[in-house]
Structure 1
Amino acid sequence: MQLSDSLTRSQKPRGICYAIFGTMLWGISGSVAQYLFASAHVSPTWLVGVRLLSAGILLLAWFAIDTHESLWSIFKSGHGWRLVIFGLLGMMPSQATYFMAISYGNAATATVLQFLGPLFIIIYLAAANRQLPRRIDMISIVIALLGTFLLVTQGHVTSLALSLPAVIWGVLAGVSQASYTLLPRPLLKQFDERLVVGWAMIIGSLVFLPRVALAMPAHLTLNNWLGIIFIVVGGTAIAYLLYLKSLAYIDPSATGMLSAFEPLTATVVAVGVLGTHLSMPEVIGGALILLTTVLQAIPQKHLIGGNR
């Protein structure tokens, strides 16, 4: 037993590294999307469609090669309708609203606003269970609202620091993140996450297939294509692989807290590389929103990680 405990402790840093690098890749992919929207005028809906379809195929291929199980088992089990609902009401909007928020604003603020997801989960669970939120939940709500106020107004009540569409899409990204977290729970209890998420991505991509086929961006450079490939492979498939690996060594609550590296990375890249300007009130507001994620992770609530 002591040897097993020692082995677990020695492997914990590996799990932490997996979680950090995985969430950093998610954060970088948001900044790469901002670059593509600005420099190549790539449509957010086209990029979402390409990302979902390509990453979904990669995840299903990974599952098939790793397990040698049938890709159709989830449909034969009678749970296909749950998967369709998750794909269309969870996966698709979580991706689309996030990229729309980036296109109207920037990767840093879009990623932070997406982290309002726990706030909407608290509200939903309180309503569904017909009971008031816990004290820690009430504190999280107040902190999240204060952080959002600072982020979108810079402390000025009469004006917005972000465009109204950026604020609306960012808040919707938070709502979608909540549905993305809640909807697949019954499926994840019975099926491999790669199977669930891979199929959900492909189902979600169907909405955008006409856009993908008919609205290919013109005059894409090599750097543009490398950015697209990174978003699909590095910012989705590999990031998700690292996240799954981290769960083998550390608790989901620890992974939830380490997910703060996603908006941190998006902010550093957006400001340092893309030249995005953030005022001090925006930085403080973003930090307060991320604090709610840490507060919610302390009780070890199990949420599936990642936006993307």
Structure 2
Amino acid sequence: MPKSRRMGLMEVITGGILWGTSGTVAQAILGQYHVPSLWLTGIRLFFAGLLLLIWYAASNGNAVWAIWRQPKMIGTLILFSFLGMVPSQLTYFLAIYHGNAPTATVLQFLSPLFIIAYLAFVHREWPRRIDILSIGIALFGTYLLVTNGQLTRLALSPLALFWGLLAGASSAAYTLLPRQLLAQFDARLVVGWAMLVGSLPFGPTLVMTRLPQVNGTVIGGIAFIVIGGTMLAYLLYLKSLESLEPETTGMLSAFEPLTATLLAVVVLGTPITHFQVIGGLCIIATTVLQALPQRASVAH
């Protein structure tokens, strides 16, 4: 196996674990310490983006402005920021707030369905048989996750389901939009500017909000979400796309919901039923199915 591919595998696995851990940390500070979702999203975007750009500028100097010197890339960056970066983070936090980290993270994994639908629409082609199978399995998994196997009531609140589905859609946009940018610029530059630009509309919220509680746990949790669960996780995920196929990256990022579920159950005592576990595994399985055709083509 080439060294670059081994590195890509380590990057996506580590990024998934960091993402999953940050989801559990977010559940704790959103639910137990009542940190507002909008404020947490804004602070996460601003500081993580700023740190990435400082890191890049420390070794590359004025090249930190490279994207802004190419007018065609500016529009792509703005689209990535406001249609991919910002929604993927805000909807995820709102899904956690109205539900919990495991279900929010699993619903975010519905992104392959949205990618399949988008590509089918763009290319004006019916999805492949394996895509249709993936959609069926994912919908069945969502049904189990949302209803806990009972048609008469929801196991999730409607808002948790709504924001979770939007998290899946925005995660798909996050995967599709930056490919052109990453082909020309360092991932730190792309992610850093996308985060910093995306944080601008949150300025008034950051200035006016007063947190209900400020202690070491809250400060430490926010610091981990900014540095580990945002800056490093997003960077590792996008860098893995440089050496891995998107299908492989999507499959291995299953470490995110697995980590979030394990930590939420063990550390926070979040209740998870057998039906919800099966439903979550069905959704995660769609990423494995999407990787199979790619693996088969490589083998031949």
Q: Write out aligned runs for 1:130-149 (5 A).
A: 130-149=124-143
Q: Which residue of 1 aligns with 2:157?
A: 163
For 2:95, the aligned partner's letter is A
Match of 2:171 among 172, 177, 184: 177
Match of 1:214 among 208, 211, 222: 208
| Structure 1 residues 268 and 204: CA distance shift in structure 2, 3 A | same
Asked if 1:64 is matched to 2:72, the reply is no
Identify which range, 135-144 or 211-220, moves more after superposition. Answer: 211-220
For 1:185 and 1:239, locate their aligned partners in 2 and report how far apart those are by CA, in whole Å.
17
State the 1:88 CA deviation. Answer: 1.3
SS at match of 1:159: coil
SS at match of 1:274: coil
Match of 1:232 among 219, 226, 235: 226
Q: Which residue of 2 aligns with 1:265?
A: 259
For 1:100 and 1:265, locate their aligned partners in 2 and report how far apart those are by CA, in whole Å.
19
CA contact (8 A) 1:252 1:300 kept: no
For 1:190, the aligned partner's letter is Q
Identify which range, 172-181 or 282-291, moves more after superposition. Answer: 172-181
For 2:226, the aligned partner's letter is V
CA contact (8 A) 2:34 2:212 kept: no
For 2:43, the aligned partner's letter is V
Q: Write out aligned runs for 1:238-277 (5 A).
A: 238-243=232-237, 253-277=247-271
Q: Which residue of 1 aligns with 2:36?
A: 43
SS at match of 1:71: helix
SS at match of 1:160: coil
Q: Which residue of 2 aligns with 1:304?
A: none
State the 1:189 CA deviation. Answer: 2.4
CA contact (8 A) 2:38 2:205 kept: yes
Q: Compute the TM-score of the two structures, normalised by the length of structure 2.
A: 0.91
For 1:52 and 1:283, locate their aligned partners in 2 and report how far apart those are by CA, in whole Å.
31
| Structure 1 residues 158 and 280: CA distance shift in structure 2, 3 A | same
* 5+ long unaligned stretches in structure 2: 296-300
For 2:109, the aligned partner's letter is F
Report Cα offsets for 1:128-159 as digits up to 9, x if no partner: 11110011111111111111111000111121
SS at match of 2:152: coil
| Structure 1 residues 22 and 168: CA distance shift in structure 2, 3 A | same
Match of 1:89 among 75, 79, 83: 83
State the 1:12 CA deviation. Answer: 6.1
Paired residue total = 294
Identify which range, 193-202 or 225-234, moves more after superposition. Answer: 193-202
Q: Which residue of 2 aligns with 1:196?
A: 190
CA contact (8 A) 1:46 1:216 kept: no
Q: Write out aligned runs for 1:97-136 (5 A).
A: 97-136=91-130
For 2:5 and 2:113, locate their aligned partners in 1 and report how far apart those are by CA, in whole Å.
29
Percent sequence identity over aligned pairs: 56
CA-atom RMSD, angstroms?
Answer: 2.0
For 1:188 and 1:15, locate their aligned partners in 2 and report how far apart those are by CA, in whole Å.
15
| Structure 1 residues 257 and 83: CA distance shift in structure 2, 3 A | same
CA contact (8 A) 1:27 1:264 kept: yes
For 1:249 and 1:120, locate their aligned partners in 2 and report how far apart those are by CA, in whole Å.
23
Q: Which runs of 4+ in 1 moved over 6 A?
A: none
Identify which range, 178-187 or 116-125, moves more after superposition. Answer: 178-187
Report Cα offsets for 1:173-203 as digits up to 9, x if no partner: 0111111122223322222222111111111
| Structure 1 residues 101 and 112: CA distance shift in structure 2, 3 A | same
| Structure 1 residues 29 and 136: CA distance shift in structure 2, 3 A | same
For 1:247 and 1:176, locate their aligned partners in 2 and report how far apart those are by CA, in whole Å.
18
For 2:51, the aligned partner's letter is L
CA contact (8 A) 2:67 2:74 kept: yes
Q: Which residue of 2 aligns with 1:278?
A: 272
For 1:107 and 1:265, locate their aligned partners in 2 and report how far apart those are by CA, in whole Å.
10
CA contact (8 A) 1:113 1:173 kept: yes
For 1:141 and 1:281, locate their aligned partners in 2 and report how far apart those are by CA, in whole Å.
19
* 5+ long unaligned stretches in structure 1: 302-308
Q: Which residue of 1 aligns with 2:19?
A: 26
| Structure 1 residues 58 and 298: CA distance shift in structure 2, 3 A | farther
| Structure 1 residues 253 and 89: CA distance shift in structure 2, 3 A | closer
| Structure 1 residues 63 and 298: CA distance shift in structure 2, 3 A | farther
For 1:249 and 1:144, locate their aligned partners in 2 and report how far apart those are by CA, in whole Å.
27
CA contact (8 A) 1:117 1:177 kept: yes
Identify which range, 116-125 or 183-192, moves more after superposition. Answer: 183-192
